[in-house]
Structure formats: structure tokens, C-alpha cells
Amino acid sequence: MDRIAESGIELTGAPPVAGAAPAPGGGMATLIERAVVLLLLGGLLLGVALVLLPFLTAVLFAAVLAVATWPLRSALVRLGLPKGLVVLLLVLAGLALVGLPVLALAPRLASRIAEGARVLEATLAALPATPPDWVAGMPVVGGRLSVAWRDAAGAEGGLLHAIGPYAEWLREGVVAVARGLADSMLQFLLALVVAGTFWASGDRFAAVLLDVVRRLGGEAAAGALRAAGGALRGVAYGVVGTAFFQALAMGIGAALGGVPGATALGFVVLVLAISQIGAVLIPAVWGGAAWWLFRQGADAWGVFMLVWGLVLVSASDNLLRPWLISRGLEMPLTLVILGVFGGFISFGFLGLFIGPALLAVAFTLVQAWRAGASPAAG
């Protein structure tokens, strides 16, 4: 016993064994430390989200712009242009294509809306009680419009009084659309600034993001990230391509019908289609052109303008855009359509890009899982 005591070996407990589980107290301490680290990390991420939240729309739109225009940026860099000059050229191109025309119209927008309201009020007050012959001659809806015209004109105060209860609603709708367009322009200008940083340092951003995603999810996650980039690029091409087609169709239809300012009408449709928020006003453009033709006595051309605008200008948005988007995606057209319209309903304008991107990531992960799954042994 003396020898054991002298050797320093305690008899109150067994010696520690290598690989044994830590004592309960040490395990609880480790759990608490990890929980504290996770809470701190969550607080940090929450703080970052709160800081970026006011600029979230601009940052996401800037990412879409950078991804969509990256092939053009790469081509300019390969030509030997400095990156700074390339960024400057892309920012100026964005301002010239969208920003400057809208900014030029903005100072007179309020006066033009008020003037248009006065013209509409004077026109409604001067309308006769009996509808003109071209109204009854319109296909499908001519008879119903004639009856509604006579009923409204027969009411006390005429047509102007009949639409009086809806005047405030129409005024609020116009103001809301104008406010939305102004907000879109502000977000677009801010997005151009952010996109400039992406164009300048996008190579490093992409490499870091790809490395992080690959570390977290392997090659399947990297493939999903590339699919998301392809979806964003495809949607951008689809939106811009559809807008140019609608503008071209509007200009050609107005020129064929003899409507003055056909080029200007096409440009208005282009701006409204690209903004998406003002797309609800596109029928008013070709509808106004048809109204002008009817007032000039060109009933046949007025009907032509209505059909042309409904089929080629407005309906093409729902048919051409999903097809153009699907050209750049290895994804079924049905999923593309669901992503475009579902994303727009859920998230607004940016949902056009978010919806297809999310479905593209999910579709890519499912395809990777199916390719990696081995059949069951028989």
C-alpha cells in the first residue's frame, strides 16, 4: 500500500481510458458553447439582413443584370478593354436604354396625366346618347356595348355621370402605377451602381460563391448554382426579347393603320413591357390607337388594331416569354411557365427571375439525385 501511495496512484477512481466519452459536465459545457456560437452567428446574419433589407430589391436586380450581361462583359474584356472601361460602358448603356428616356418624360408626366384626364372628361361629356355604327359593328361584343352605351346615356347626367362612382378608383390606380414606375426607376438606378461592382469583381465573387456551395453540397450543389445562373440569364433574355417583340408589333400595327407617332407608341410599349409594373397599361396604348382610328371613320382599321393589339402585342407576352426562357434552360416548358407566373404572383417583378431560378435549382438537384441513385439489387 505504501508503494502504491508513493507512486501517486489514487484508489478513488479508475484511470482514464483513451476514446472514452467526456464527462457529463464537459459535454454540457460543449453544448452550451456551441449554442452560444450559433446564437451569435444567427444574430450576425440577422444584423446583416436588416442592413441590406432596404437595398434587397436593388441588389437582387443588380445580380440579375450582372448574370444576364456577363457574356457581353466577358466579350468586351476579351477584346482587350480595361475592366473599368467595360463597367463604365455597361452602366452608360443601361442609362441610355432605359433610364434617360424615362427621366426625360418624368418632369411632364403629372401635367400629361392631368391633361389626359381633362380630355377624357370632355370627350365623355360630348358623346351622343346613341352609339355610333362602328360600336354595334364590332365583332362579338358590339351588341352588348351598344346596349350598355344606351343604358348609361339614358341615365341622369349621361355617360360622365355613369362613370362618376369609378372616377376616384381610376385616379388612384393611375397614381399607383405612376408611383410604381417612379420607384422602379429609383431601384433601377441603384441596381446599376451595385451591378457595376459585380461587373468589376464578378470573377472573384463567382469563384468564392462556387467554392462555398461546393464545400456545402458537393458537385450537385455546384450544378444547381450553375442552373440558377442559367435561369436568371434565360429570364432576362425572355423579358427583354418579349418587350422588343411587343414594341415592334405595336409600331408595325400602328404604321399599317396610319396612326400618327407609330414609333413613339412602340417605344412606350417597350418601356412599359420592360418595367413589368406598367405592363397593365399596354392595352391602353393599342386601345387608344384603335379609338383614334374609329374616330377618324376607319372602322375596318380600328377592328384590325384591336385584334392586332390583343393577339400580337398583349397575348404574345404570355406565349413568347416562356418559350424564350426555356431556350436557355434544360427544364420542361411546363416548369418554366409555372416558375414565371407563380414567381410573379408570389414575389412581384423580381419573382419573374426568382421563380424559374428556384425551380431550376430543385429540378437540377432531383436530376442529380436520380443519376446518383443506384437501382435496388434484384
Residue partners of 310: CB distance under 8 A and separation at least 6? 283, 286
**pLDDT higher for 57 or 48?**
48
Return the minimum-mean-pLDDT range out of 102-106, 191-195, 261-265.
102-106
- Quote the mean pLDDT of the chain: 74
What's the rounded mean pLDDT across residues 121-127?
A: 62
pLDDT in tens, 355-376: 777 787 788 778 777 776 544 4
Residue 129 is given by DSSP the state S
Q: Quote the pTM value.
A: 0.57
Asked if residue 33 has pLDDT above 80, the reply is: yes
Beta strands in the chain (DSSP E): none
Asked if residue 52 has pLDDT above 70, the reply is: yes
What's the rounded mean pLDDT across residues 20-33?
A: 67
Cα 172 from Cα 3, distance rounded (Å): 98
pLDDT in tens, 323-336: 777 776 667 777 77
pLDDT in tens, 255-293: 888 888 788 788 878 877 776 656 677 888 888 888 888
Cell, residue 115: 391633361
User: SS in 3 state form for 288-339?
Assistant: HHHHHHHHCCCHHHHHHHHHHHHHHHHCHHHHHHHHHHHHCCCCCHHHHHHH
Rounded percentage of the chain residues whose pLDDT exceeds 70: 66
Cell, residue 92: 452608360
Band the pLDDT of 141: cuts 50, 70, 90: low
Query: What's the one-letter identity of residue 230?
Result: G
Return the minimum-mean-pLDDT range out of 86-100, 166-180, 271-285.
166-180
| Domain range annotation of the chain | 60-364
